[in-house]
Amino acid sequence: MQTTLVILKPSAVQRNLVGQVIARFERKGLQIVGIKMVHLTESILEEHYSHLRDKPIFRRIADSMMVCPVIVMAIRGLEAVDVVRNLTGPTNGRYASPGTIRGDLSNSVQENIVHASDSLETANIELNRFFNKNEIFNYEQLSFANIYAVDEV
- Per residue in 44-55, pLDDT (tens digit) is 998 888 888 888
Cross-strand bridge partners of residue 56: none
Choosing from 39, 48, 51, 115, the catalytic residue is 115
For domain 2-39+71-137, the question of CATH label 3.30.1360.70 is answered with no
pLDDT at 12: 97
Q: In whole angstroms, what separates CA 152 from the centre of its chain? A: 24
pLDDT at 56: 86
Q: Is the pLDDT of residue 84 over 90?
A: yes
Q: Where are the beta strands (DSSP E) in the chain?
A: 2-8, 31-38, 70-77, 114-116
Task: Give 76's strand partners.
Answer: 3, 31
What is the structure's pLDDT at 129?
Answer: 96
Active site residue 39: no
pTM over 0.85: yes
pLDDT, tens digit (0-9, with 9 covering 90-100), for 98-123: 999 999 999 898 889 999 999 999 99
